[in-house]
Amino acid sequence: MDLLSYPLSYCRIKTREVRIGDLTIGGNHPIYVQSMLTSSTQDVPSCLEEIKSLFQVGCRLIRLTVPSKKDLDAVPELRRVLKEEGLDVLLVADIHFSPSLAVEACELFEKVRINPGNFSDRPKNSSGTIDEKEFEEGTARLREAIRPLAAALIKNQRVLRIGVNQGSLSTRMMERYGDSPIGMVQSALEMAELFEEQGFDQLVISLKSSNPITVQKAYRLLVDSQKHREVIPMHLGVTEAGDGIMGRIKSLAGIGPLLMDGIGDTIRVSLTEESANEIIFANQLLPSILQKKEATGSTRKAWQRPFTHQRIQSEPVNFGTTRLGGGSPFKIGEPDNGSVPKTGLELESDFEYRENQQGKEVFLGSSALLKVSTLHELNSVTRSPKYSASVLTTENPIYLLRSYYKDNNSRAGKPVGYRVPSKPDYNLLTQLAAALSEGLLDFFLLPDRIEANDLLGVLYLLQATRMKILVADYIACPSCGRTLFDIQSTTARIKEKTSHLKGIKIGIMGCVVNGPGEMADADFGYVGSGTGKIDLYFGQDRVRRGISEDEAVDKLIELIKEKGYWKDR
């Protein structure tokens, strides 16, 4: 079984330094935030206004989509107006399917991003199996395909991002590794090594997925896979995170634990909103995550856990019809005074609790007594016949939880839960995201006083880490110049009509470049297929083609009802 390392103290991973214009990424340099324009690259006035809004909130590294030669031809004019406006920004070209466009982009952009999954590979109608000879032949084709790009990057002193998306892995990688984090890592490292063979090493790697757990796994595996070589700088992001509190919490759940563990050199928070909002949130998130460090140093003392996402199985505790631990689903407890605010979600807590006056013990019904303890008391509490479980209240749970389970050889005693404070900040939510992702907690106790938005953040965190499904889930792309409809208003309309469908997953994708692949695990998909035209998917099957945008949301609801997923409010 594959094992991944989880640090017991903070230590920034030192990566190779890469220079993008006057910015240096990697090494000990700051973590930079970046964004992507939603405007068509051919629409220079719209691009200019969007770049202005990004520049005003501190973003200098900005990506544009380049799907055609016409888009590339618009860049010199954009460069001219940027210079007139005094906007000192660095531009990144986003290239899919066209190696020749990537080569030409090296003359106009400081950085180029390509996706190995659609750069050069076998036809999509391949047999579904692959032997070693066929795999190596694919590598050889890829080696030849990148030669002109490597030469152009070297000549123009540019940087390349190898941008792997889980939803668009190449056929060759899918046949060997499946739709998995391992396949994502192997795709990125194969491409990186081919460029390094040709004398080019100014590389950045991204491994994106709409699943925050997959994002965490992929980057940790990427780090573990580079133990014996210079580590390539990493660009972090959860793709198609959506909007609002849910979109922000998804991004936090995916990239926050990585940043907390010293992984990541640049980030993008993908939101289905105005692009400047991505920078505003990222600039709130970064200092909060990095403000509290248990320790610094060059040695990464680590605890190894299985690659699979699974809870450490504690001893079961039964009270009434409810069970804590023992492999049972994650539980939510709320105070018995009915003080938890309404959030609009159908929150069905699993049990009610009350505390003694000193706040040191928690009572569940008449049969379970829980000790509110610091982590250092866990060993004694979990072995005490008096107590059924332990409740943590520490502000910094993750490194201490890891140390506790490491010392106990990944074996748990009695269940361990966490009492959520009335005002959880991003640092705490990040630590809880890590603890939930790694399976180190069995339950939450909600506080008797908490604002509705703060409670929403906690609940969406449980959903983002796949611990508890509380609401419909949306895989919504942030939009770019390839988007063929107004994705922000469309996402809002779909959410308004479907948010009560607990457990359903809907993909809302701007175009077909990554859309069908990125929403592969969605129940339903809404994908732009032409100007004002929408295709609808049921699972991975396209079941409606070319629907007018004006009626597509209603047709989506009809499809959900037809397939038996609809419930009235």
State the pLDDT at residue 148: 96
Task: State residue 349's pLDDT score.
Answer: 82
Q: Is residue 287 situated within a structural domain?
A: no
Report if residue 567 sits inside a domain.
no
Measured CA to CA, the distance from residue 433 to residue 458 in angstroms comes to 9
Q: What is the CATH number of the domain that holds 201?
A: 3.20.20.20
* Same domain, residue pair 424 and 500: no
Residue owning tokens 């940087």: 159
CA–CA distance from 392 to each of 313, 365, 410, 432, 445 (Å)?
Answer: 18, 20, 18, 12, 10
Q: Of 464, 497, 520, which closes a domain?
A: 464
Residues 450 and 489 in one domain: no
Catalogue the long-range contacts made by 282-285 (C-beta closer than 8 Å, 24 or more residues apart).
282/33, 283/33, 283/57, 283/58, 284/426, 285/251, 285/252, 285/256, 285/426
Domain assignment of residue 374, yes or no: yes
Query: Are 388 and 526 within one domain?
Result: no
266 lies in the same domain as 405: no
Residue 477 sits in a domain of what CATH number? 3.30.413.10
Helix axes 75-84, 44-56, angle to 10 degrees: 50
Same domain for 523 and 413?
no
Domain shared by 412 and 545, yes or no? no
Asked which of 429, 464, 499 is the last residue of a domain, the reply is 464
Give yes or no for a contact between 303 and 398, defined as CB atoms under 8 angstroms apart: no
The half-sphere exposure of 122 on its side-chain side, counting CA atoms within 13 A, is 18
Q: Which amino acid is at 172?
A: R
Instruction: Give the separation between CA 551 and CA 558, rounded to whole angstroms.
Output: 11
Please choose, from the candidates 205, 212, 191, 280, the residue with its C-alpha nearest in 3D space to the C-alpha of residue 235: 205
Cβ-contact 106, 75 below 8 angstroms = no
3-state secondary structure of 241: strand
> Of 464, 489, 520, which marks where a domain is finished?
464
Are residues 122 and 248 located together in one domain of the fold?
yes
Closest by alpha carbon to 11, among 227, 230, 294, 284?
Answer: 294
355 closest CA partner among 441, 447, 290, 424? 447
- Structural domain total, the chain: 3
- Phi/psi at 138 (5° precision): -65, -40
Which residue has 């990057």 as its token pair?
153
**How far is C-alpha 431 from the chain's CA centre?**
15
- Positive or negative, the Cα torsion across 311, 317, 318, 321? negative
Residue 486 shares a structural domain with residue 460? no
The answer to whether residues 51 and 153 belong to one domain is yes
Whether 35 and 134 share a structural domain: yes
The two three-digit tokens of residue 542, written as one number: 């396209």
Name the 3-class secondary structure at 461: helix
Residue 18 and residue 233 in contact, taking contact as beta carbons nearer than 8 Å: yes
Name residue 417's beta-bridge partners.
391, 443
Q: Are residues 220 and 136 in the same domain?
A: yes
Instruction: Say what the pLDDT of residue 483 is.
Output: 67
pLDDT at 53: 96
Residue 514: domain span: 473-562
296 in any annotated domain: no
Note down pLDDT in tens along the chain; length 569 residues.
467 888 887 788 999 999 999 999 999 899 999 999 989 999 999 999 999 999 999 999 999 999 899 999 999 999 999 999 999 999 999 998 888 999 999 999 999 999 998 776 654 445 567 778 888 888 998 999 999 999 999 999 999 999 998 878 888 888 888 888 999 999 999 999 999 999 999 999 999 988 999 999 999 999 999 988 899 999 999 987 778 898 999 999 999 999 999 999 999 999 888 899 999 999 999 988 887 554 344 455 777 877 666 788 888 888 888 899 888 899 999 888 877 777 777 777 888 888 886 668 888 877 778 888 776 677 777 677 788 888 998 888 998 888 888 887 767 788 899 999 999 999 999 999 999 999 999 999 999 889 989 999 999 999 999 998 888 888 777 666 666 677 788 888 888 888 888 888 888 877 666 556 666 678 888 888 777 788 888 887 888 888 888 888 888 888 888 888 888 87
Listed residue (212, 274, 264, 206) closest to 240, CA to CA: 212
What is the phi-psi region of residue 88: left when phi exceeds 0, alpha when psi lies from -120 to 50, beta otherwise?
Answer: beta
Residues 366, 423 share a domain: yes
Q: Is residue 298 part of a domain?
A: no
What pLDDT is recorded for position 564?
83
What's the half-sphere exposure (Cβ side, CA atoms, 13 Å) at 221? 23
Task: Give the span between the Cα atoms of 114 and 95, in whole angstroms.
Answer: 5
Supply the pLDDT for residue 498. 86
Q: Beta strands 111-114 and 90-95: pairing type?
A: parallel
Please provide the distance, in angstroms rounded to a whole number, between the alpha carbons at the two ends of the chain. Answer: 44
In a domain? residue 39: yes
Contact 203, 160 (CB under 8 A): yes
